[in-house]
Amino acid sequence: MIAADTTLRAAAGRLCASLLLALLPIGFLLLMIVAPLLAIGRYGDGAWAWALLDDDYMRWRIAWTVLQALITCILVLLIGTPLAWVLARFDFAGRALVLRLLMLPFVMPTLVAGMGVLALFGTHGLLWPGWQDTPYLLLYGNVFFNLPVLVRAAYQGFLQVPASRLWAAQTLGAGAWTRFWQVQWPVLLPWLAGGVCLVFLYCFSGFGLALLLGGSDYATIEVEIYQLIAYELAMDEASVLVWLVLAITLLAALAYAWLSRRAAGANPVQPPLPEPVRGWRQYALLAAALVLLALCCVLPLAAIAWRAAQAGASWQVLLDAATLQAAFNTLRFTGLAMLLALLLGVSHAALARRHAWMRSITFLPFMVSPVCVAFGVLLLYPQWTASLSLLVATYALLAYPFITKDLLAAWDALPPGYAAAARTLGASPFQVATRVTAPLLLPSLRRGLTLAAATCVGEFAATLFLSRPEWQTLTTLIYQHLSTAGQDNYDRAMVLTAVLMLLAIAVFALLDANSHTDKGTQRARMG
């Protein structure tokens, strides 16, 4: 009887712990995504939708938003596929560094990318200032920010091509083009399609690049939503556009999820090893690929550094009280958001280990743009407008999936025998969690926290909606200087952008160091 009562109390305790564990991530998603979207849905009526569709100006905005995303997909597909083939098939000095550098745009704030494009082709651009007020600015910015996404997807696809098939096709006399179309292309297609869906999603729902580079004629729907709310208080029209954005991004996200599952479901294969470069043709191909990658992905960052170096007395902006306050606010908001993101990420990962449906909503915050989230919470929680808690919660919402993703992947890879051996030796569940599981998950947790922190430091869209004037961050201060006339303000914006870029590069270096630590730790454990 006593044993049964003890077992019942233990089961009740585990049930309460599970409920508390589920309450944090699920309740947070309900409060910060589901409820705000429902609030948007209740705002306005169908008449506004038809009115917008009959408006030539709005039809052009919608059409351009879709068109620029599609053009970017085509450009990165044409450029990224050959680049990925070169990286997958050629072995050359610096290859590992190039592969690691493809992670850099993932930690680079969109505002830095936009400022880099302006430094090249804007009014004060180093190369062709005539690109101002043209669609080429936004298209180049999209390529800069999204080309590594496609290259990484295509590179992983090339690694899924069995070496035995390529050797068999070559033995039968198939040329390079025949081997590509008949052997590599069918395997590569799901990876390319998934990468294209992701690029479309980023371009269609992007805000920072479109705000800086679109101008008055080539702004996207996201910028239009911001202008309708911030300057015209046209909530009805903005709500219709938000639902249009959500519908299209949901379709792209579902397509990406399906294609990713299909690509990930392939059996492990032995890909062909990269071969040393031989002959002048291969050297020319490699040189062309590296130059093209540098022009698309490195040149804007170099332009920021060059512009900042020429700023002269504008470097004094770093000593201004507004800059110091903005830096303090950035660190303060990031620190508070990271505490909440850590709780959300760990609890979501722990729950996803038990329930498969929780895995499917891990990236739900990524499927909804920050503009839509910010608009929804403004409608649902008007009494909390410009409150610190709402701003920090929005930061955490956009950051914690990075923690969940890395933590969950490491958790899945843990050998079950470690925990079983500890329990056999008499360790309690708490001891197993703190002395066995947690130390093994710590490197991946650091990596997720680093990516989450980079997201918070570079956050721009939600800050414009939810922040007070005295809560200026580095990103909003840069935008303020850029929006103010005068060469000195432009130079000050470039100096601050260079500082933000250095922070992002430091985050990237930390990520790279963590990845090397993870690999070394894994090798040591295997030994």
Quick count: other Cβ atoms within 10 Å of Cβ 232?
10
- CATH fold for the domain made of 49-101+134-294: MetI-like fold (1.10.3720)
The answer to whether 138 touches 121, Cβ cutoff 8 Å, is no
- The contacts of residue 91 (CB under 8 Å, 6+ apart) are 273, 274, 275, 276, 277
Distance CA 49, CA 164 (A): 56
* CB atoms near residue 134 (< 10 Å): 15
Cβ-contact 495, 317 below 8 angstroms? yes
The pTM assigned to this predicted structure is: 0.80
Residues across the chain:
527
CA atoms within 13 A on the CB side of 332: 12
Query: Which residues, 6+ apart, have CB-to-CB distance to 211 below 8 Å?
Result: 114, 219, 222, 223, 226, 479
**Contact call for residues 161 and 271 (beta carbons, < 8 A):** yes
How many helices (H) and strands (E) would you count in the chain? 27, 2
* Widest CA span in the chain: 85
CA separation for the pair 164, 218 (Å, rounded): 49
**What is the per-residue pLDDT for 91?**
83
Residue-range domain boundaries for the chain: 49-101+134-294, 311-367+381-527
Q: Do 49-101+134-294 and 311-367+381-527 have matching folds?
A: yes
Say what the pLDDT of residue 452 is.
86
How far from 71 is each of 21, 76, 291, 344, 367, CA to CA, in Å?
A: 44, 9, 22, 37, 21
pLDDT per residue of the chain (527 residues) written in tens, 0 to 9: 554 455 555 455 555 555 666 678 888 888 888 888 777 767 665 555 666 677 778 888 888 899 999 999 999 999 988 888 888 888 888 888 888 777 777 778 888 888 888 888 877 777 777 777 788 888 988 898 888 888 888 888 888 877 777 778 777 777 777 777 777 778 778 888 888 888 888 888 888 888 888 877 888 888 888 887 777 777 777 777 777 777 787 777 777 766 666 655 555 667 777 778 787 888 888 888 888 888 888 888 888 888 888 888 888 888 888 889 988 988 888 889 999 999 998 888 888 877 777 777 777 787 777 777 877 787 777 777 777 888 888 889 888 888 888 888 777 777 766 666 666 766 666 666 666 677 777 788 888 888 888 888 888 888 877 777 778 888 888 888 888 888 888 888 888 999 888 888 887 777 656 555 444 433 333 33
What type of residue is 86? V
Alpha-carbon distance of 311 to 308, in angstroms, equals 5
In the three-class reduction of DSSP (H, G, I as helix; E, B as strand; rest coil), residue 362 is classed as coil
Question: What confidence score (pLDDT) does residue 423 get?
Answer: 67
> How many Cα atoms occupy the beta-carbon half-sphere of 233 within 13 Å?
0
Of 1.10.3720.10, 3.30.60.50, 3.50.50.60, 3.30.420.40, which CATH number belongs to 311-367+381-527? 1.10.3720.10
Residues 474-516: tens digit of each pLDDT: 888 888 888 888 888 888 888 899 988 888 888 777 765 655 5
pLDDT in tens, 293-352: 888 888 888 888 888 888 888 888 888 888 899 889 888 888 899 999 999 988 888 888
